[in-house]
Amino acid sequence: MSEHIADHELQELEIHAENPDEEEFEEISSNEVDRIVAALEELMESASSENIKTHLEEALNGIYYLVYDEEAGDGEDDGDILAEAA
């Protein structure tokens, strides 16, 4: 299994070496983002530390905006997004 992973990584390095100016973009589905946001919300609810909750909220918002445009929120702030997702 690790041989297969190493081969795949080597192929990616070779491709990047051939085209160093090209940026790689990963397509992320809204279904995956929704699933991860829900999981982070559950973790936030179970955390008792405010520091941990703050870091989880920052991660949640960063992941949310990978797919959903900030401008599509009609001026809502991050707290409104969390309330809607709950």
- Tens digit of pLDDT per residue, the chain (86 long)? 445 556 656 556 555 555 555 667 888 999 999 999 999 999 999 999 999 999 999 999 999 999 998 655 544 454 545 544 44
Q: Residue with structure tokens 């390095």?
A: 13
- Could you tell me if 80 and 73 are in contact, meaning their C-beta atoms sit under 8 angstroms apart? yes
- Could you tell me if 63 and 36 are in contact, meaning their C-beta atoms sit under 8 angstroms apart? yes
What is the pLDDT, as a whole number, of residue 11?
A: 59
What is the pLDDT, as a whole number, of residue 49?
A: 97
Residues sharing a CB contact under 8 Å with residue 4, sequence separation 6 or more, in sequence order: none
Residues sharing a CB contact under 8 Å with residue 67, sequence separation 6 or more, in sequence order: 28, 29, 30, 33
What is the pLDDT, as a whole number, of residue 17?
A: 56
What is the pLDDT, as a whole number, of residue 19?
A: 56
